[in-house]
Amino acid sequence: MTHTTTHSDHDYEQVIGEKLNDAQLRTNLRSAMDTLIHKRKDLLEDRYPEWEQLRTMGQNAKLKVLAQLDTYVQRFEENATKNGFVVHYASTAKDANEIIYKLAKERGVERILKGKSMASEEIELNRYMKEKGIVAKETDLGELIIQLIDEHPVHIVVPAIHKNRHQVGKIFQEKLGAPLESEPEKLNGIARKHMRGEFEGFKMGISGVNFAIANEGAIWLVENEGNGRMCTTACDIHVAICGIEKMVESFEDASILNNLLCPSAVGVQITCYQNIITGPRQEGELDGPKEAHIILLDHNRSNILADEKYYRALSCIRCGTCLNHCPVYDKIGGHAYLATYPGPIGVVITPQLFGLDNYAHIANLCSLCGRCGEVCPVKIPLPELIRDLRAEKSHEGRGVVRGYKDTKHSKLEELGMKAFAKIASNGTAWRAVMAMSGVFAPLGKVFGHYTPVLKKWLRYREMPTIHGNLHAEVKKLTGVIYE
Protein backbone atom coordinates (compact mmCIF):
# COMPACT_ATOMS: atom_id res chain seq x y z
CA MET A 1 0.00 0.00 0.00
CA THR A 2 1.58 3.26 -1.14
CA HIS A 3 -0.06 6.38 0.19
CA THR A 4 0.91 8.55 -2.77
CA THR A 5 -0.89 6.32 -5.25
CA THR A 6 -4.23 7.50 -6.59
CA HIS A 7 -6.82 4.78 -6.07
CA SER A 8 -9.50 4.28 -8.70
CA ASP A 9 -13.12 3.21 -8.39
CA HIS A 10 -12.01 -0.22 -9.53
CA ASP A 11 -9.40 -0.52 -6.75
CA TYR A 12 -11.97 0.17 -4.06
CA GLU A 13 -14.73 -1.91 -5.57
CA GLN A 14 -12.39 -4.84 -6.04
CA VAL A 15 -10.98 -4.86 -2.50
CA ILE A 16 -14.38 -4.23 -0.91
CA GLY A 17 -15.87 -7.09 -2.94
CA GLU A 18 -13.05 -9.37 -1.79
CA LYS A 19 -13.56 -8.49 1.88
CA LEU A 20 -17.34 -8.84 1.73
CA ASN A 21 -16.91 -12.31 0.25
CA ASP A 22 -14.33 -13.36 2.86
CA ALA A 23 -16.51 -15.28 5.30
CA GLN A 24 -13.65 -15.99 7.71
CA LEU A 25 -12.68 -12.32 7.86
CA ARG A 26 -16.24 -11.24 8.60
CA THR A 27 -16.63 -13.91 11.29
CA ASN A 28 -13.36 -12.85 12.95
CA LEU A 29 -14.25 -9.16 12.84
CA ARG A 30 -17.77 -9.64 14.13
CA SER A 31 -16.57 -11.74 17.06
CA ALA A 32 -13.80 -9.26 17.92
CA MET A 33 -15.99 -6.17 17.58
CA ASP A 34 -18.75 -7.69 19.70
CA THR A 35 -16.22 -8.52 22.42
CA LEU A 36 -14.74 -5.01 22.46
CA ILE A 37 -18.14 -3.31 22.39
CA HIS A 38 -19.54 -5.36 25.27
CA LYS A 39 -16.38 -5.05 27.40
CA ARG A 40 -16.52 -1.29 27.03
CA LYS A 41 -20.26 -1.14 27.75
CA ASP A 42 -20.05 -3.35 30.84
CA LEU A 43 -17.05 -1.45 32.23
CA LEU A 44 -18.67 1.96 31.80
CA GLU A 45 -21.88 0.79 33.47
CA ASP A 46 -19.97 -0.77 36.37
CA ARG A 47 -17.14 1.70 37.03
CA TYR A 48 -17.80 5.02 35.29
CA PRO A 49 -21.04 6.65 36.52
CA GLU A 50 -19.67 10.06 35.48
CA TRP A 51 -18.40 9.02 32.06
CA GLU A 52 -20.07 11.93 30.25
CA GLN A 53 -18.44 14.47 32.57
CA LEU A 54 -15.08 12.75 31.97
CA ARG A 55 -15.64 12.99 28.21
CA THR A 56 -16.26 16.73 28.52
CA MET A 57 -13.08 17.16 30.56
CA GLY A 58 -11.10 15.25 27.94
CA GLN A 59 -12.64 17.24 25.13
CA ASN A 60 -11.74 20.51 26.85
CA ALA A 61 -8.18 19.34 27.54
CA LYS A 62 -7.58 18.63 23.86
CA LEU A 63 -9.31 21.72 22.47
CA LYS A 64 -7.43 23.96 24.91
CA VAL A 65 -4.10 22.82 23.50
CA LEU A 66 -5.23 22.86 19.86
CA ALA A 67 -6.29 26.51 20.27
CA GLN A 68 -2.65 27.43 21.02
CA LEU A 69 -0.75 24.47 19.65
CA ASP A 70 2.32 26.45 18.60
CA THR A 71 2.74 27.73 22.16
CA TYR A 72 2.47 24.26 23.69
CA VAL A 73 4.83 22.72 21.14
CA GLN A 74 7.44 25.36 21.95
CA ARG A 75 6.95 24.81 25.69
CA PHE A 76 7.32 21.06 25.22
CA GLU A 77 10.53 21.49 23.21
CA GLU A 78 12.07 23.76 25.84
CA ASN A 79 11.27 21.43 28.73
CA ALA A 80 12.17 18.25 26.85
CA THR A 81 15.52 19.73 25.88
CA LYS A 82 16.22 20.58 29.52
CA ASN A 83 15.48 16.95 30.36
CA GLY A 84 18.07 15.73 27.86
CA PHE A 85 15.88 14.86 24.90
CA VAL A 86 17.00 15.90 21.42
CA VAL A 87 13.94 17.36 19.67
CA HIS A 88 13.64 17.22 15.87
CA TYR A 89 10.97 18.75 13.64
CA ALA A 90 9.66 16.86 10.59
CA SER A 91 7.39 18.74 8.21
CA THR A 92 6.83 15.70 5.99
CA ALA A 93 6.97 11.93 6.16
CA LYS A 94 10.20 12.05 4.16
CA ASP A 95 11.76 14.41 6.70
CA ALA A 96 10.92 12.05 9.57
CA ASN A 97 12.32 9.01 7.77
CA GLU A 98 15.51 10.84 6.87
CA ILE A 99 16.06 11.93 10.47
CA ILE A 100 15.76 8.35 11.70
CA TYR A 101 17.93 6.98 8.91
CA LYS A 102 20.65 9.54 9.59
CA LEU A 103 20.65 8.69 13.30
CA ALA A 104 20.93 4.98 12.50
CA LYS A 105 23.60 5.40 9.83
CA GLU A 106 25.83 7.64 11.95
CA ARG A 107 25.72 5.11 14.81
CA GLY A 108 26.25 2.01 12.70
CA VAL A 109 22.77 0.62 13.36
CA GLU A 110 21.61 -2.11 10.96
CA ARG A 111 18.59 -3.36 12.90
CA ILE A 112 15.85 -1.29 14.54
CA LEU A 113 13.23 -2.70 16.92
CA LYS A 114 9.86 -0.95 17.01
CA GLY A 115 7.13 -0.64 19.55
CA LYS A 116 3.63 -0.09 18.20
CA SER A 117 3.38 3.24 16.40
CA MET A 118 0.70 4.30 13.93
CA ALA A 119 2.81 7.37 13.12
CA SER A 120 5.55 5.03 11.85
CA GLU A 121 2.93 3.31 9.68
CA GLU A 122 1.80 6.71 8.41
CA ILE A 123 5.30 7.63 7.21
CA GLU A 124 5.96 4.08 5.94
CA LEU A 125 9.11 3.80 8.03
CA ASN A 126 9.60 0.05 7.52
CA ARG A 127 9.55 0.36 3.73
CA TYR A 128 11.90 3.35 3.77
CA MET A 129 14.42 1.62 6.02
CA LYS A 130 14.32 -1.55 3.93
CA GLU A 131 15.15 0.48 0.82
CA LYS A 132 18.14 1.93 2.71
CA GLY A 133 19.39 -1.48 3.83
CA ILE A 134 18.24 -1.27 7.45
CA VAL A 135 15.87 -3.83 8.98
CA ALA A 136 12.98 -2.44 11.05
CA LYS A 137 11.34 -5.21 13.08
CA GLU A 138 8.02 -5.06 14.91
CA THR A 139 7.86 -6.23 18.53
CA ASP A 140 4.17 -5.74 19.31
CA LEU A 141 2.44 -9.13 18.99
CA GLY A 142 -0.19 -7.97 16.51
CA GLU A 143 2.34 -5.99 14.47
CA LEU A 144 4.71 -8.98 14.47
CA ILE A 145 1.96 -11.23 13.08
CA ILE A 146 1.12 -8.94 10.20
CA GLN A 147 4.78 -8.17 9.42
CA LEU A 148 5.43 -11.89 9.07
CA ILE A 149 2.78 -12.07 6.33
CA ASP A 150 3.65 -8.67 4.81
CA GLU A 151 0.36 -6.98 5.67
CA HIS A 152 -0.52 -3.62 7.17
CA PRO A 153 -2.50 -3.09 10.42
CA VAL A 154 -6.19 -3.76 10.01
CA HIS A 155 -7.03 -1.72 13.13
CA ILE A 156 -5.29 1.20 14.84
CA VAL A 157 -5.23 -0.50 18.28
CA VAL A 158 -5.34 -4.25 17.55
CA PRO A 159 -3.53 -4.59 14.21
CA ALA A 160 -4.09 -8.33 13.69
CA ILE A 161 -7.66 -8.53 14.96
CA HIS A 162 -8.75 -10.02 11.63
CA LYS A 163 -6.79 -13.21 12.36
CA ASN A 164 -8.07 -15.85 14.77
CA ARG A 165 -5.83 -18.03 16.94
CA HIS A 166 -5.82 -20.93 14.46
CA GLN A 167 -4.64 -18.64 11.66
CA VAL A 168 -1.97 -17.14 13.92
CA GLY A 169 -0.76 -20.63 14.80
CA LYS A 170 -0.27 -21.45 11.12
CA ILE A 171 1.57 -18.17 10.55
CA PHE A 172 3.97 -18.93 13.39
CA GLN A 173 4.49 -22.47 12.07
CA GLU A 174 5.24 -21.29 8.52
CA LYS A 175 7.25 -18.14 9.30
CA LEU A 176 8.98 -18.94 12.60
CA GLY A 177 9.33 -22.71 12.32
CA ALA A 178 7.32 -23.18 15.52
CA PRO A 179 5.15 -26.21 16.28
CA LEU A 180 1.53 -25.78 15.25
CA GLU A 181 -0.40 -24.40 18.23
CA SER A 182 -3.72 -22.64 18.69
CA GLU A 183 -3.91 -21.97 22.43
CA PRO A 184 -3.32 -18.26 23.20
CA GLU A 185 -0.87 -18.99 26.03
CA LYS A 186 1.29 -21.16 23.79
CA LEU A 187 1.13 -18.65 20.93
CA ASN A 188 2.23 -15.91 23.30
CA GLY A 189 5.07 -18.15 24.45
CA ILE A 190 6.26 -18.65 20.86
CA ALA A 191 6.17 -14.91 20.20
CA ARG A 192 7.94 -14.12 23.48
CA LYS A 193 10.76 -16.57 22.79
CA HIS A 194 11.21 -15.18 19.28
CA MET A 195 11.24 -11.56 20.45
CA ARG A 196 13.63 -12.22 23.35
CA GLY A 197 16.17 -13.27 20.79
CA GLU A 198 15.60 -10.08 18.81
CA PHE A 199 16.03 -7.88 21.88
CA GLU A 200 19.49 -9.24 22.64
CA GLY A 201 22.08 -6.63 21.77
CA PHE A 202 19.90 -4.24 19.75
CA LYS A 203 21.00 -0.59 19.65
CA MET A 204 18.03 1.47 18.44
CA GLY A 205 14.39 1.38 19.49
CA ILE A 206 11.45 3.24 17.95
CA SER A 207 8.22 4.11 19.74
CA GLY A 208 5.16 6.22 19.23
CA VAL A 209 3.74 8.66 21.77
CA ASN A 210 0.30 8.68 23.37
CA PHE A 211 0.67 11.97 25.22
CA ALA A 212 3.41 14.61 25.01
CA ILE A 213 3.26 16.65 28.22
CA ALA A 214 4.24 20.25 27.55
CA ASN A 215 4.70 21.42 31.15
CA GLU A 216 7.09 18.56 31.92
CA GLY A 217 8.81 17.85 28.60
CA ALA A 218 7.92 14.17 29.07
CA ILE A 219 6.19 11.54 26.94
CA TRP A 220 3.63 8.97 28.06
CA LEU A 221 3.28 5.58 26.32
CA VAL A 222 0.42 3.14 26.92
CA GLU A 223 0.79 -0.58 26.17
CA ASN A 224 -0.15 -4.07 27.33
CA GLU A 225 2.78 -6.32 26.44
CA GLY A 226 5.99 -4.77 27.81
CA ASN A 227 7.64 -4.67 24.40
CA GLY A 228 7.25 -0.90 24.36
CA ARG A 229 9.21 -0.66 27.60
CA MET A 230 11.93 -2.88 26.14
CA CYS A 231 12.15 -0.75 22.97
CA THR A 232 12.55 2.43 24.99
CA THR A 233 14.85 1.33 27.84
CA ALA A 234 17.01 -1.61 26.70
CA CYS A 235 18.54 0.18 23.73
CA ASP A 236 21.31 2.76 23.38
CA ILE A 237 19.21 5.11 21.22
CA HIS A 238 15.47 5.67 21.67
CA VAL A 239 13.56 7.59 18.98
CA ALA A 240 9.93 8.56 19.63
CA ILE A 241 7.75 9.64 16.69
CA CYS A 242 5.15 12.12 17.96
CA GLY A 243 2.41 13.76 15.92
CA ILE A 244 2.18 17.40 17.03
CA GLU A 245 -1.48 16.85 17.96
CA LYS A 246 -0.41 14.53 20.81
CA MET A 247 0.39 17.59 22.96
CA VAL A 248 -1.34 18.00 26.32
CA GLU A 249 -0.66 20.67 28.90
CA SER A 250 -0.09 18.71 32.08
CA PHE A 251 0.10 15.32 33.76
CA GLU A 252 -3.43 15.97 35.06
CA ASP A 253 -4.78 16.39 31.53
CA ALA A 254 -2.89 13.32 30.34
CA SER A 255 -4.41 11.33 33.23
CA ILE A 256 -7.91 12.38 32.19
CA LEU A 257 -7.27 11.31 28.60
CA ASN A 258 -5.68 8.05 29.72
CA ASN A 259 -8.83 7.29 31.72
CA LEU A 260 -10.80 7.77 28.52
CA LEU A 261 -8.37 5.88 26.30
CA CYS A 262 -8.14 2.53 28.08
CA PRO A 263 -11.87 1.80 28.48
CA SER A 264 -12.59 3.01 24.96
CA ALA A 265 -9.81 1.02 23.31
CA VAL A 266 -10.05 -2.42 24.93
CA GLY A 267 -12.61 -2.16 27.73
CA VAL A 268 -10.18 -2.03 30.68
CA GLN A 269 -9.58 0.60 33.36
CA ILE A 270 -5.84 0.67 32.81
CA THR A 271 -3.35 -1.13 30.61
CA CYS A 272 -0.58 -3.34 31.96
CA TYR A 273 2.20 -0.84 31.25
CA GLN A 274 2.16 2.94 31.61
CA ASN A 275 5.55 4.26 30.53
CA ILE A 276 6.36 7.88 31.39
CA ILE A 277 9.74 8.86 29.94
CA THR A 278 11.46 12.08 30.97
CA GLY A 279 14.72 11.76 29.09
CA PRO A 280 17.78 9.54 28.50
CA ARG A 281 19.70 7.65 31.19
CA GLN A 282 21.13 9.99 33.81
CA GLU A 283 24.44 9.60 35.60
CA GLY A 284 24.23 6.85 38.19
CA GLU A 285 21.18 5.18 36.62
CA LEU A 286 21.47 1.53 35.59
CA ASP A 287 19.07 1.40 32.65
CA GLY A 288 17.55 3.54 29.96
CA PRO A 289 18.94 4.73 26.61
CA LYS A 290 22.09 6.79 26.31
CA GLU A 291 20.32 9.00 23.76
CA ALA A 292 16.64 9.95 23.58
CA HIS A 293 15.22 11.68 20.51
CA ILE A 294 11.73 12.98 19.80
CA ILE A 295 10.54 13.68 16.26
CA LEU A 296 7.65 16.17 16.22
CA LEU A 297 5.75 15.23 13.07
CA ASP A 298 3.55 17.68 11.19
CA HIS A 299 2.76 15.89 7.90
CA ASN A 300 -0.15 18.21 6.99
CA ARG A 301 -1.52 18.39 10.52
CA SER A 302 -1.03 22.17 10.43
CA ASN A 303 -3.37 22.30 7.43
CA ILE A 304 -6.03 20.42 9.39
CA LEU A 305 -5.50 22.69 12.39
CA ALA A 306 -6.07 25.79 10.26
CA ASP A 307 -9.60 24.77 9.28
CA GLU A 308 -12.50 25.95 11.40
CA LYS A 309 -14.20 22.53 11.32
CA TYR A 310 -11.69 19.80 10.61
CA TYR A 311 -9.32 20.85 13.41
CA ARG A 312 -11.56 18.91 15.81
CA ALA A 313 -10.26 15.68 14.28
CA LEU A 314 -6.85 16.42 15.83
CA SER A 315 -8.41 15.75 19.25
CA CYS A 316 -8.30 12.03 18.44
CA ILE A 317 -6.52 9.91 21.07
CA ARG A 318 -6.36 6.85 18.75
CA CYS A 319 -8.55 4.63 20.93
CA GLY A 320 -10.21 2.94 17.94
CA THR A 321 -13.68 2.80 19.49
CA CYS A 322 -15.19 4.49 16.43
CA LEU A 323 -13.92 1.54 14.39
CA ASN A 324 -15.30 -0.97 16.88
CA HIS A 325 -18.81 0.50 16.62
CA CYS A 326 -18.81 1.17 12.87
CA PRO A 327 -21.22 -1.06 10.87
CA VAL A 328 -19.13 -0.51 7.73
CA TYR A 329 -15.76 -1.34 9.30
CA ASP A 330 -16.98 -4.60 10.83
CA LYS A 331 -18.14 -5.83 7.40
CA ILE A 332 -14.98 -5.09 5.41
CA GLY A 333 -12.14 -4.52 7.89
CA GLY A 334 -9.40 -1.93 7.77
CA HIS A 335 -7.55 -3.12 4.65
CA ALA A 336 -10.51 -2.22 2.43
CA TYR A 337 -9.90 1.46 3.17
CA LEU A 338 -6.49 1.22 1.44
CA ALA A 339 -5.20 3.66 4.05
CA THR A 340 -3.13 3.75 7.24
CA TYR A 341 -6.09 4.97 9.29
CA PRO A 342 -9.34 3.09 8.64
CA GLY A 343 -12.81 3.53 10.13
CA PRO A 344 -14.62 6.82 10.78
CA ILE A 345 -11.55 8.72 12.00
CA GLY A 346 -9.66 7.46 8.97
CA VAL A 347 -12.41 8.69 6.66
CA VAL A 348 -11.94 12.19 8.10
CA ILE A 349 -8.16 12.50 8.38
CA THR A 350 -6.84 10.34 5.52
CA PRO A 351 -7.84 12.68 2.66
CA GLN A 352 -6.39 15.60 4.60
CA LEU A 353 -3.08 13.88 5.31
CA PHE A 354 -2.62 12.32 1.88
CA GLY A 355 -4.86 14.38 -0.42
CA LEU A 356 -8.53 14.22 -1.39
CA ASP A 357 -7.49 13.43 -4.97
CA ASN A 358 -5.88 10.20 -3.70
CA TYR A 359 -8.59 9.23 -1.20
CA ALA A 360 -11.92 10.68 -2.33
CA HIS A 361 -13.54 7.25 -2.37
CA ILE A 362 -12.92 6.70 1.33
CA ALA A 363 -15.76 9.14 2.08
CA ASN A 364 -18.20 6.56 0.73
CA LEU A 365 -17.30 4.06 3.45
CA CYS A 366 -19.81 5.43 5.94
CA SER A 367 -23.50 4.73 6.54
CA LEU A 368 -24.01 8.03 8.46
CA CYS A 369 -25.52 6.05 11.34
CA GLY A 370 -23.89 8.42 13.85
CA ARG A 371 -22.52 5.77 16.21
CA CYS A 372 -18.94 7.06 15.97
CA GLY A 373 -19.94 10.49 17.23
CA GLU A 374 -21.89 8.97 20.11
CA VAL A 375 -18.99 6.85 21.41
CA CYS A 376 -15.97 9.09 20.71
CA PRO A 377 -14.42 9.69 24.14
CA VAL A 378 -13.37 13.26 23.28
CA LYS A 379 -16.60 14.11 21.45
CA ILE A 380 -15.23 14.61 17.94
CA PRO A 381 -18.28 15.28 15.72
CA LEU A 382 -17.26 12.60 13.23
CA PRO A 383 -20.62 12.28 11.40
CA GLU A 384 -20.67 16.04 10.79
CA LEU A 385 -17.08 16.05 9.53
CA ILE A 386 -17.74 13.10 7.23
CA ARG A 387 -20.74 14.90 5.73
CA ASP A 388 -18.55 17.95 5.17
CA LEU A 389 -15.93 15.77 3.52
CA ARG A 390 -18.54 14.28 1.20
CA ALA A 391 -19.47 17.81 0.18
CA GLU A 392 -15.79 18.44 -0.59
CA LYS A 393 -15.66 15.24 -2.62
CA SER A 394 -18.64 16.31 -4.75
CA HIS A 395 -17.21 19.85 -5.18
CA GLU A 396 -20.02 21.38 -3.16
CA GLY A 397 -17.93 22.13 -0.07
CA ARG A 398 -15.61 24.91 1.00
CA GLY A 399 -12.64 23.74 -1.07
CA VAL A 400 -10.34 23.48 1.95
CA VAL A 401 -9.08 19.88 1.77
CA ARG A 402 -5.75 19.11 0.12
CA GLY A 403 -6.18 17.83 -3.44
CA TYR A 404 -9.66 19.38 -3.76
CA LYS A 405 -8.96 20.95 -7.17
CA ASP A 406 -7.64 17.70 -8.61
CA THR A 407 -10.48 15.53 -7.34
CA LYS A 408 -12.60 13.90 -9.99
CA HIS A 409 -16.29 13.77 -9.26
CA SER A 410 -19.20 12.16 -11.04
CA LYS A 411 -21.56 14.46 -12.89
CA LEU A 412 -24.19 11.73 -12.69
CA GLU A 413 -23.77 11.57 -8.91
CA GLU A 414 -24.01 15.36 -8.71
CA LEU A 415 -27.24 15.45 -10.74
CA GLY A 416 -28.67 12.57 -8.71
CA MET A 417 -27.99 14.32 -5.41
CA LYS A 418 -29.54 17.56 -6.64
CA ALA A 419 -32.65 15.70 -7.79
CA PHE A 420 -32.90 13.90 -4.44
CA ALA A 421 -32.52 17.19 -2.54
CA LYS A 422 -35.28 18.78 -4.59
CA ILE A 423 -37.67 15.90 -3.96
CA ALA A 424 -36.75 15.44 -0.28
CA SER A 425 -37.38 19.13 0.47
CA ASN A 426 -40.87 19.13 -1.08
CA GLY A 427 -43.54 17.33 0.92
CA THR A 428 -45.91 16.72 -1.97
CA ALA A 429 -43.15 15.46 -4.25
CA TRP A 430 -41.75 13.22 -1.52
CA ARG A 431 -45.12 11.59 -0.81
CA ALA A 432 -45.66 11.08 -4.52
CA VAL A 433 -42.35 9.29 -4.89
CA MET A 434 -43.11 7.14 -1.86
CA ALA A 435 -46.45 6.20 -3.38
CA MET A 436 -44.84 5.26 -6.66
CA SER A 437 -42.21 3.21 -4.87
CA GLY A 438 -44.94 0.78 -3.88
CA VAL A 439 -45.52 0.13 -7.55
CA PHE A 440 -41.95 0.09 -8.83
CA ALA A 441 -40.19 -1.68 -5.95
CA PRO A 442 -41.47 -5.14 -7.03
CA LEU A 443 -40.27 -4.39 -10.56
CA GLY A 444 -36.86 -3.55 -9.15
CA LYS A 445 -36.58 -7.06 -7.73
CA VAL A 446 -37.11 -8.48 -11.21
CA PHE A 447 -35.22 -6.02 -13.42
CA GLY A 448 -32.88 -4.26 -10.97
CA HIS A 449 -29.88 -6.45 -11.75
CA TYR A 450 -30.06 -5.29 -15.38
CA THR A 451 -30.65 -1.59 -14.68
CA PRO A 452 -27.71 0.89 -14.71
CA VAL A 453 -26.75 2.26 -11.26
CA LEU A 454 -29.33 0.02 -9.53
CA LYS A 455 -27.46 -3.13 -10.48
CA LYS A 456 -24.37 -1.90 -8.60
CA TRP A 457 -26.48 -1.19 -5.53
CA LEU A 458 -28.06 -4.64 -5.69
CA ARG A 459 -24.70 -6.37 -5.98
CA TYR A 460 -24.49 -6.52 -2.18
CA ARG A 461 -28.07 -5.69 -1.16
CA GLU A 462 -31.62 -6.91 -1.57
CA MET A 463 -34.46 -4.75 -2.85
CA PRO A 464 -36.58 -3.86 0.21
CA THR A 465 -40.24 -4.83 0.41
CA ILE A 466 -42.57 -1.83 0.67
CA HIS A 467 -45.33 -2.65 3.15
CA GLY A 468 -48.74 -0.99 3.47
CA ASN A 469 -51.07 0.76 1.06
CA LEU A 470 -49.07 3.85 0.24
CA HIS A 471 -51.66 5.01 -2.28
CA ALA A 472 -54.28 5.16 0.47
CA GLU A 473 -51.90 6.91 2.85
CA VAL A 474 -51.02 9.55 0.27
CA LYS A 475 -54.68 10.13 -0.58
CA LYS A 476 -55.54 10.54 3.09
CA LEU A 477 -52.71 13.03 3.61
CA THR A 478 -52.99 15.03 0.39
CA GLY A 479 -56.36 14.30 -1.16
CA VAL A 480 -54.58 13.32 -4.36
CA ILE A 481 -54.30 9.94 -6.00
CA TYR A 482 -51.03 9.32 -7.85
CA GLU A 483 -51.45 6.84 -10.64
Quick check: is 397 in a domain? Answer: yes
Quick check: is 12 in a domain? Answer: no
Quick check: is 1 in a domain? Answer: no
Length of the chain: 483
Q: Is the four-CA dihedral 429, 432, 434, 440 of positive or negative sign?
A: negative
Collapsing DSSP states into helix, strand and coil, what is residue 89? Answer: strand
Nearest CA-CA partner of 265 in 325, 336, 185: 325
Quick check: is 243 in a domain? Answer: yes
List pLDDT tens digits, range 352-377.
999 999 999 999 999 999 999 999 99
Domain identity same for 236 and 219? yes
Distances (CA, A) of 266 to 16, 80, 286, 409, 467: 26, 30, 34, 38, 41
List pLDDT tens digits, range 64-77.
999 999 999 999 99
Nearest CA-CA partner of 136 in 100, 168, 167: 100
Contacts of residue 383, Cβ cutoff 8 Å, sequence gap at least 6: 344, 368, 370, 372, 373
- The pLDDT value recorded for residue 6 is 58
Sheet holding 111-114: strands in order across?
A: 86-90, 291-297, 237-243, 204-207, 111-114, 135-138
Vertex 185 angle, CA 29 and 24, to 5°? 20
SS (H, E, C) 254-306: HHHHHHHHHHHHHCCCCCCEEEEECCCCCCCCCCCCCEEEEEEECCCHHHHHC
CA–chain centroid gap for 392, Å, is 21
Quick check: is 364 in a domain? Answer: yes
**Overall number of domains in the chain:** 3
Domain identity same for 218 and 162? yes
Domain identity same for 98 and 131? yes
The enclosing domain of 133 has a CATH number of 3.40.50.10420
Domain identity same for 466 and 334? no
Output helix, strand, coil percentages for the chain, rounded to the nearest 5.
55, 10, 35
Residues 429-443 as b/e (b if ≥16 CB within 10 A, e otherwise) read: eebbeebeebeeeee
Domain identity same for 346 and 388? yes
- The pLDDT value recorded for residue 482 is 42
- The pLDDT value recorded for residue 446 is 80
The enclosing domain of 392 has a CATH number of 1.10.1060.10
- The pLDDT value recorded for residue 440 is 75
List pLDDT tens digits, range 209-241.
999 999 999 999 999 999 999 999 999 999 999
Nearest CA-CA partner of 465 in 432, 438, 434, 425: 438
Would you say residue 256 has pLDDT above 80? Answer: yes
Q: What are phi and psi of 211, to 5 degrees?
A: -140, 130
Average pLDDT over residues 414-429: 86
Domain identity same for 199 and 216? yes
pTM of the complete model: 0.90
Average pLDDT over residues 280-307: 96
Would you say residue 52 has pLDDT above 50? Answer: yes
Single out the residue in 302, 320, 337 at which a domain terminates.
Answer: 302
Domain identity same for 266 and 351? no
Q: What is the mean pLDDT of the chain?
A: 92
Single out the residue in 406, 425, 443 at which a domain terminates.
Answer: 406
Q: Which of 88-92, 228-232, 388-392, 474-478 has the weakest average pLDDT? A: 474-478
CA 211 – CA 274 distance, rounded (Å) = 11
Quick check: is 9 in a domain? Answer: no
- The pLDDT value recorded for residue 3 is 47
Report the Cα–Cα distance between both ends of the chain, in Å, rounded.
Answer: 53
- The pLDDT value recorded for residue 194 is 95
Torsion of CA 16, 171, 28, 368, to 10 degrees: -40
Domain identity same for 291 and 334? no
Domain identity same for 337 and 203? no
> How many Cβ atoms from other residues are within 10 Å of residue 457's Cβ?
12
Domain identity same for 117 and 253? yes
Contacts of residue 327, Cβ cutoff 8 Å, sequence gap at least 6: 367, 369, 371
CA 423 – CA 433 distance, rounded (Å) = 8
Quick check: is 46 in a domain? Answer: yes
What residue numbers bound the domain in which 375 lies? Answer: 311-406
Domain identity same for 320 and 288? no
Residue 103: pLDDT band with limits 50, 70, 90: very high
Strands 204-207 and 135-138: unpaired
- The pLDDT value recorded for residue 2 is 43
Provide the residue type at 64 as one letter: K
Would you say residue 409 has pLDDT above 80? Answer: no
- The pLDDT value recorded for residue 476 is 52
Domain identity same for 251 and 333? no
Between these two residues, 465 and 27, which has the higher pLDDT value? 27
CA 140 – CA 158 distance, rounded (Å) = 10
- The pLDDT value recorded for residue 1 is 43
Helices (H) then strands (E): counts for the chain = 23, 10
Between these two residues, 383 and 459, which has the higher pLDDT value? 383
Quick check: is 11 in a domain? Answer: no
Collapsing DSSP states into helix, strand and coil, what is residue 240? Answer: strand
Say if CB 159 and CB 146 are below 8 A apart: yes
Long-range contacts of 45-50 (CB under 8 A, 24+ apart): 47/263, 47/269, 48/263
Single out the residue in 406, 438, 453 at which a domain terminates.
Answer: 406
Alpha carbons within 13 angstroms on the beta-carbon side of residue 151 total 19
Average pLDDT over residues 249-272: 97
